[in-house]
Structure 1
């Protein structure tokens, strides 16, 4: 008879696998990393890893979900304490401005995420999952703030929240990519400039 494994043990084992995989992806890159590499980084056997995950893609999706859900919960709590939609939007710009994409740890995470995003473009199912995740966690965050601001009369009513949200994340992704490629890239200046343009554009006439 197989031993009974507690839920706490399973959670602990999954966290160990995820931690090892994150370190592995950061060091070797998502594309180059193999399950054998994750075994080496996590110290957990290949058989045990396959008990929890079917592939390295599934491991990375779990990593993203854990990080995104925890970050999103904290973020929603913080912005709920701000009194206006303009303050909430400013807070998000400032939050990303101060993320220090030039640190090696941050660079590693950005590169791994970009690698996985490009990898997913060749897989219809992965691409669908990432798009749904983007709508649920990222686009909705901005569109909710914009719609709230329009309802309160803070922002002009003819601004399209979906376009503003799309532009916000396009700028953030692009700025982070350029900061990885060029240490002299004026990351914070770019974020400040786009922030001023967006807030000016949203103002009522």
Structure 2
């Protein structure tokens, strides 16, 4: 049998992870079986165990790399025009996140909450999620500190935690209702978020 190229191995592994992402997003971690992933990927059972030892290992791999697979990581890469106020910077980030909310995107967002739920039972997953959460917090912290280097640390941490709770809470709501945000409602939410940001000016 000819030896598989490294590119082919990567392609097969990604196919398995994509199938798993679809199944976990649709059914959740506990209700998804290895057979479900095999059927979704249209591969043999022997092939899946060539790349992964267990369903948990697949889940952990997704926790590490799902943003790259769904282009989520690009959302928070911003360059701001010179002279932007802190509020303008923060609302630009807010808009960048909200503008990605399509039905497909929100479907995939379900798996992020699966990661958090299952992290209480899987210590390795808990560490992955804490690291990712800290990275997200640091993005907003950096924007604020660059604008206000002497900001009170307690206020900074409280604001950042509140900021991300608004994002995560809205995603949970729209995922659970399988719907996109109403544009008029989001205009009002954006106005409130902007007011919240102005507190730090």
In the alignment, structure 1 residue 115 sits paired with structure 2 residue 114: yes
In the alignment, structure 1 residue 141 sits paired with structure 2 residue 142: no
CA drift at 1:168: 1.4
Tell me: CA distance 1:61–1:142, structure 2 relative to 1, closer, same or farther (3 Å).
Answer: farther
Where does the alignment leave 5 or more consecutive residues of structure 1 unmatched?
Answer: none
Q: Distance in 1 between matches of 2:161 and 2:132?
A: 14
Confirm or deny: 8 A CA contact 1:39 1:46 kept in the other structure.
yes
Tell me: CA distance 1:56–1:190, structure 2 relative to 1, closer, same or farther (3 Å).
Answer: farther
Q: Distance in 2 between matches of 1:50 and 1:110?
A: 27
Where does the alignment leave 5 or more consecutive residues of structure 2 unmatched?
Answer: none
Partner of residue 92, structure 2: 91
Aligned pairs for 1:1-150 (under 5 A) are: 3-69=2-68, 71-73=72-74, 75-76=76-77, 79-83=78-82, 84=84, 86=86, 87-100=88-101, 103=103, 105-136=104-135, 138-150=136-148
Partner of residue 174, structure 2: 179
Confirm or deny: 8 A CA contact 1:85 1:146 kept in the other structure.
no
Q: 1 or 2 for the larger relative contact order (CA 8 Å, sep ≥6)?
A: 2
Tell me: CA distance 1:184–1:94, structure 2 relative to 1, closer, same or farther (3 Å).
Answer: closer
Q: Distance in 1 between matches of 2:44 and 2:188?
A: 45
Tell me: CA distance 1:106–1:85, structure 2 relative to 1, closer, same or farther (3 Å).
Answer: same
CA drift at 1:126: 1.5
Partner of residue 200, structure 1: 198
CA drift at 1:93: 1.0
Aligned length: 193
Tell me: CA distance 1:113–1:72, structure 2 relative to 1, closer, same or farther (3 Å).
Answer: closer
Under a length normalisation based on structure 1, what TM-score does the superposition of the two structures give? 0.79
> What RMSD over aligned residues (CA atoms) do the two structures have, in Å?
2.7
1:5-56, CA deviations, whole angstroms, 9 ceiling, x for partnerless residues?
3211111111111121122223333221111110000012222222222333
Mean Cα deviation higher: 92-101 or 31-40: 92-101
Confirm or deny: 8 A CA contact 1:120 1:127 kept in the other structure.
yes
Under a length normalisation based on structure 2, what TM-score does the superposition of the two structures give? 0.80
Mean Cα deviation higher: 32-41 or 5-14: 5-14
Confirm or deny: 8 A CA contact 1:175 1:190 kept in the other structure.
no
